[in-house]
Structure 1
Amino acid sequence: MSSPHQLTCTLAIVDAHTARIVVSGEIVFDSGDRLLGVVADLLADHPVRRLRLDCGEVTFCDSYGLGTLLAVHRRLDAVGGVLHLENRPAALDRLLRRTNTYNHLTRSVEPEREHQLDS
């Protein structure tokens, strides 16, 4: 029997500096650690500088899920990387805005830092 909070994370290495994870399902208490584990494994195996997290198929995100996204951001920041939350559903944007984390998790990379990441 599958968990009611099914979460799948599909990882693809885009290039030497970039990875993409397509997240499908609910990022909640019962499943958030799965995403964090995928990111931890990725950073251990491929120290990427950019992580594109495709949230287009995220159906729900609770406070634990928000904490998971913040933890992913911290892990990337700790290694000099950048997190990009792409294809965010409206409900996720609302959660980010209500919790004042929108700018923190969605700010664009400054052009100078983007150039440094490409070097």
Structure 2
Amino acid sequence: MTPPTEFPDLRLTRTPGATQGVLLLRVEGFLDYDNADAFLAAATQHLDDALPLHELHLDCAGLDGLDSMGLSVLLMLHRRTTAACAVLHLDDPSPSLERLLEITGTLEYLTPQHPAATTEADGRSESPS
């Protein structure tokens, strides 16, 4: 495990991956306007250091919350992960994070493996009766 990168009210820690091509990052605290840019820079550096990469797992169990800027950097991290030909996984999201993603219409985009996102996608793919 590498030493955590700390920002105001936020900590990002890289943990050893179980397999090659998998990056595990743990986020703890509140992701907001004050630390969003620094968080994105640190997460991107970890992403770049881990290339080639297949998956980035962001452990959100310790994420206390986020504001609109925090959501924005999660979307940007998703774009950067996708550009690196890898898949972003938001692991252990709190119910409040899932609800925020659902309300903002980003649940399916950020967590395509989430059961609610799969159900919505299945519902849209069906032809109307």
Q: Tell me which interval the TM-score lies in, with the shorter structure as reference length.
A: 0.7 to 0.9
User: Taking structure 2 as the reference length, what is the TM-score of the superposition?
Assistant: 0.77
In 2, Cα distance between the equivalents of 1:82 and 1:42?
A: 15
2:12 aligned residue: 9
Unpaired runs of 5+ residues, structure 1, are 110-119
Q: Which runs of 4+ in 1 moved over 2 A?
A: none
Unpaired runs of 5+ residues, structure 2, are 1-5, 115-129
Is the 8 Å Cα contact of residues 10 and 21 (structure 1) preserved in structure 2?
Answer: yes
Equivalent position to 1:49, from 54, 57, 62: 54
Equivalent position to 2:93, from 63, 85, 88: 88
Residues 42-51 or 86-95, more deviating? 42-51
SS of residue matched to 1:94 = helix
1:26 aligned residue: 30
SS of residue matched to 1:74 = helix
Aligned-CA RMSD value: 1.8
Equivalent position to 1:99, from 94, 100, 104: 104
Is the 8 Å Cα contact of residues 23 and 47 (structure 2) preserved in structure 1?
Answer: no
Larger gyration radius, structure 1 or structure 2: 2
